[in-house]
Structure 1
Amino acid sequence: MSAQVEEVRLALGHIELAAHLFGPADGLPVIALHGWLDNANSFARLAPRLKGLRIVALDLAGHGYSAHRPVGAGYALADYAHDVLRVAEQLGWQRFGLLGHSLGAIISVQLAGALPDRISHLALIDGVVPPTLSEQDAAERLGLALQAQLRLDGKRKSVYATLEAGVEARMKGMVAVSREAAELLAQRGLMPVPGGYSWRSDSRLTLPSPSRLHPDQAMAFVKRIACPTCLVVAADGMLARHTALLEQLPFEQVTLPGGHHLHLNDAEGAALVADCFNRFFGIP
């Protein structure tokens, strides 16, 4: 990673988050939000290539070195958005950009739609809106989520005998990543435990959400966004097959080769995404 990287901890009152700082102190303020079960190292290849930006790459609550939510709390999208606003308040940033991947992109879109006057730029990587649900399935969805919460009490986290085994498990996760990407995520994600190593992420992050937005509600956030927005679609990622959704988006869209983690899997992918976002932010 770049020599410019600085590790910080942000005490927000209700929770403490860890973050990496990239770029000049007087650069355009940007908060970077990673994907589900990833951490701030998601931007380890990309952020040093972005010019003129002061990037605060968070470990979202429950991920990496950041604290977990209290017992009884959950990980709703609105709670993540609140965390981001608290970070901005602490840094004195009235207006700031958002750089989001996957879950981080979803949080970014919701925050930019909810408070359009606060967000100056929106740079998204293979994510826009959360999975949606029809009205008639809402009750069943809540029931499944409640049952899963009860079952979680009896589950134990996986323990890997070696660091290498933990890295290989991440490579083969729900969204596969390259070995290099898994190793970067493991730097902030794996911790020693009796018998080996386990991932730091809060087990509650794997629970199904108790509610989902109707498609019209999800698009309402998109329609309220007032800032310049650029969406990178990974050719082999999650969004490319959702052509109907992509056609509805009033955003600049750029399709680049690679999978869902194209900005992290290798240097070539990170360079392509950086070239796209450097043009988007337009800073010499």
Structure 2
Amino acid sequence: MSAQVEEIRLNLPHIELAAHLFGPEDGKPVLALHGWLDNAMSFARLAPKLQGLRIVALDFAGHGHSAHRAAGADYLLWDYAFDVLAVAEQLGWQRFSLLGHSMGAIVSVLLAGALPERIERLALIDGLVPYTGEADKAPQKLGEALKAQLALPAKRKPVYERIERAVQARMKGVGAVSREAAELLAQRGLMPVPGGFTWRSDARLTLPSPLRLTQAHAASFVRAVQCPLSLVLAQGGMLANQPGIRRLLEGRPFEVHELPGGHHLHLDDEAGATAVAAIFQPFLSA
């Protein structure tokens, strides 16, 4: 990672978040938002390639070095959206751009749709809207979520005797990543415990959603986005074979780019990060 990266802490009224800071003080303001169970190292390759931008790459609440939410609190998408807004307020950024990967891209769209006056541009990597659920399945999904919440105290995080074992596990996890990417994420995501190492992330992050937006909700948020949007789709990623994503974007003046690589193409290798940077550098600098 570049020596120009600075570790910062953001003491919000309701939680303390950690972040990596890149770029000059007078650069265009950008908040970078990582995916589920990742951390700020998600942008370790990409952010240094984006020149002239003031990038704050957050650890979302419950991830990386950020604090976990209080007992009884949730990790819902709109809670993350509020966190992002609170960070912007603390930084004094009235208008800013969002660089989001996966879940971070979803949070970006929700915030841009809800408060279009605050968002300058959206640069999204293999993410757009959350998994949806229709009304007829809502009671069942809520029941499953409540049962999972009751069962959570009896579960234990995996403990890896060596960091290498954790890296191997992350390589095969949801949104499989390269060895180098897994090592970067593990570098920030692991902590020592008796017997070895485990992930810093809050176990509550693995709970199923108690309520999902419907397809109509998701489409409404995309339609509400008023700023320029550039979406990078990974050919081997999670959205490549989802025709619904294309339908959501039909008739909208948004850029869509397809690049070779997996869901973490911006982190897996230098070639992927360079290709994504070539698209986002002129877009975010405009």
Bin of the TM-score, shorter chain as denominator length: over 0.9
* Aligned counterparts of 1:129 and 1:175: Cα–Cα separation in 2: 16
2:242 is equivalent to residue 242 of structure 1: yes
1:37-186 to structure 2, matched below 5 A, reads: 37-186=37-186
Matched, 1:20 2:20: yes
Deviations 1:165-213, CA, capped at 9 Å, x for gaps: 1111111112210000000001110100000000000000000000001
Matched, 1:260 2:260: no
Name whichever of 240-249 and 10-19 sits farther off. Answer: 240-249
CA apart distance, 1:243: 1.9
Would you say 1:33 and 2:36 are equivalent positions?
Answer: no
Q: Distance in 1 between matches of 2:21 and 2:224?
A: 29
Give distance in 2, aligned partners of 1:94 and 1:126: 26
Question: 1:195 aligns to what?
Answer: 195
- The superposition leaves residues 15-66 of structure 1 with CA deviations (integer Å, 9 ceiling, x where unpaired) of 0000000011100000000000000000000000012110000000000000
Q: CA deviation at 1:281?
A: 2.1
Which whole-Å CA distance do the structure 1 matches of 2:228 and 2:70 have between them?
36
Cα distance in structure 1, aligned partners of 2:163 and 2:245: 39
SS of the equivalent of 1:257 reads strand
What's the TM-score once normalised by structure 1's chain length?
0.98
- 2:133–2:214 contact (8 Å) kept in structure 1: yes
- Alignment root-mean-square deviation, CA: 0.8
Alignment partner, residue 209 of structure 1? 209
Task: Tell me, in whole angstroms, the C-alpha distance in 2 between the residues paired with 1:224 and 1:60.
Answer: 24
4+ residue segments displaced more than 6 Å: none
Give the TM-score taking structure 2 as reference length.
0.98
Query: Helix, strand or coil for the counterpart of 2:177?
Result: coil
Equivalent in the alignment of 2:274: 271
Q: CA deviation at 1:155?
A: 0.5
What is the aligned partner in structure 1 of residue 6 from structure 2? Answer: 6
Task: Tell me the CA shift for residue 153 of structure 1.
Answer: 1.0
Task: Give the Cα separation in 1 of the matches to 2:13 and 2:43.
Answer: 26
Q: Percent identity?
A: 67
Count of residues in Structure 1 that have an aligned counterpart in Structure 2:
283
Q: Classify the secondary structure of the residue corresponding to 1:245.
A: helix
2:105 and 2:283 map into 1 onto residues whose CA distance is 16
Once residues 108 and 35 of structure 2 are traced to their aligned partners in structure 1, the CA distance between those partners, rounded to angstroms, is: 11
SS of the residue 2:164 aligns to: helix
Structure 1: runs of 5 or more not aligned: none
Shift in Å, 1:247: 3.1
| 2:222–2:248 CA contact under 8 A, matched in 1 | no
- The CA distance in 2 between the partners of 1:282 and 1:193, in whole Å, is 43
Amino acid at match of 1:271: T
**CA contact 2:28–2:285 (8 Å) conserved in 1:** no
